[in-house]
Amino acid sequence: DGGITQSPKYLFRKEGQNVTLSCEQNLNHDAMYWYRQDPGQGLRLIYYSQIVNDFQKGDIAEGYSVSREKKESFPLTVTSAQKNPTAFYLCASSIAGGRYSPLHFGNGTRLTVT
């Protein structure tokens, strides 16, 4: 079955360490996205990528970095510069173009930094 795999489901890190969240999709989608969700809040866009080797900052990109070397993969690195990294991170993908292209989401990674 096609879908989006995020790993790990739970991640714990010490303050000051960089951490990379994995996102892999086998839906053959060109566009991929990273969202952050804080408790009781909606989703906020961190980064998105329209195509391999290209990506754009979203609304809250500071303290994060991404790469898109393969169509299937869009890893997110939470750097030590991110002041409040503890959150739920969701990866998504969509067909590029078209008016009706819903985002398909992974199951998320819950990151706790202490």
Q: How many CA atoms lie within 13 A of 25 on its CB side?
A: 26
Q: Which is closer to another protein, CB of 12 or CB of 17?
A: 12
Q: Which is closer to another protein, CB of 16 or CB of 40?
A: 40
Tell me which of 5, 7, 96, 112 binds another protein, using CB under 8 A: 96
Ramachandran region of residue 108, left (φ > 0), alpha (ψ -120 to 50) or beta? left
Give the per-residue contact string, 14-53, with another protein (x = CB under 8 A; - = no): ----------------xx-x------xxxxxx--xxxx--
Residues 6+ apart with CB under 8 A from 61: 46, 47
CB atoms within 10 A of CB 107: 12
Q: Quick one: which segment of 12-20, 62-70, 75-83, 94-102 binds another protein (CB under 8 A)?
A: 94-102
97 lies in the site for another protein, by CB under 8 A = yes
